[in-house]
């Protein structure tokens, strides 16, 4: 997620974290969730979708310039990416979710040690 914190715009297929994170204000989605019948068909569909996104969305967003020769839409998307993805997809969130999941399956109270109790206190927000 370091890229998102630096304003890098994602352009990817909708799988993994990008399927959860994607909105048009923070990046670009390639294709849809449809799967080709064969690997060759999928490769062709992916290539067509990539070129369509590049030609119709990515390049215009980057090359459209204002009076100061800056790409305002691109910069706006970068700002949204930093603000939305930087907080939503961070190591802090991952650790908190992991600890909460680990503690939800904890042993009986008397078996919980000092470390587990301390982690439990850290994750109460």
- Tell whether 70 and 124 lie within a shared domain: no
Tens of pLDDT, residue by residue over 109-125, are 554 566 666 666 666 65
When pLDDT is averaged across residues 13-24 and rounded to a whole number, the result is: 89
Tally of domains within the chain: 2
Give the domain range for residue 24: 2-89
| pLDDT exceeds 70 at position 107 | no
Tens of pLDDT, residue by residue over 61-98, are 999 999 999 999 999 999 999 998 877 777 777 788 88
More reliable by pLDDT, 106 or 102: 102
pLDDT of residue 4: 78
pLDDT of residue 52: 97
- Tell whether 82 and 31 lie within a shared domain: yes
Q: Count CB neighbours of 100 within 10 A.
A: 14
> E-assigned strands of the chain?
10-13, 27-30
Q: Where are the alpha helices (DSSP H) in 1-113?
A: 2-5, 16-21, 39-53, 59-63, 72-80, 86-88, 91-104
- Tell whether 78 and 38 lie within a shared domain: yes
- Tell whether 7 and 56 lie within a shared domain: yes
Closest by Cα among 2, 7, 13, 5 to 77: 7
State how far the Cα of 23 lies from the Cα of 43, in Å rounded to an integer: 24
Which of 25-39, 85-99, 102-116 is modeled with the greatest confidence? 25-39
pLDDT band at 57 (very low <50, low <70, confident <90, very high): very high
From 18-27, 28-37, 42-51, the region with the lowest mean pLDDT: 28-37
Closest by Cα among 103, 98, 125, 97 to 116: 103
Reduced to 3 states (helix: H, G, I; strand: E, B; else coil), residue 25 is: coil
- Tell whether 83 and 109 lie within a shared domain: no
């Amino acid at each position: 997620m370091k890229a998102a914190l630096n304003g890098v715009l994602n352009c990817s297929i909708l799988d993994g974290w990008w399927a959860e994170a994607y909105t048009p204000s923070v990046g670009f989605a390639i294709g849809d969730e449809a799967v080709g019948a064969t690997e060759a068909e999928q490769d062709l569909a992916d290539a067509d979708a990539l070129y369509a996104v590049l030609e119709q969305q990515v390049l215009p967003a980057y090359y459209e310039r204002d009076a100061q020769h800056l790409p305002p839409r691109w910069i706006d998307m970068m700002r949204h990416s930093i603000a939305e993805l930087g907080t939503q997809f961070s190591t802090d969130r991952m650790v908190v979710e992991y600890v909460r999941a680990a503690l939800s399956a904890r042993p009986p109270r008397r078996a919980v040690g000092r470390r587990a109790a301390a982690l439990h206190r850290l994750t109460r927000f």
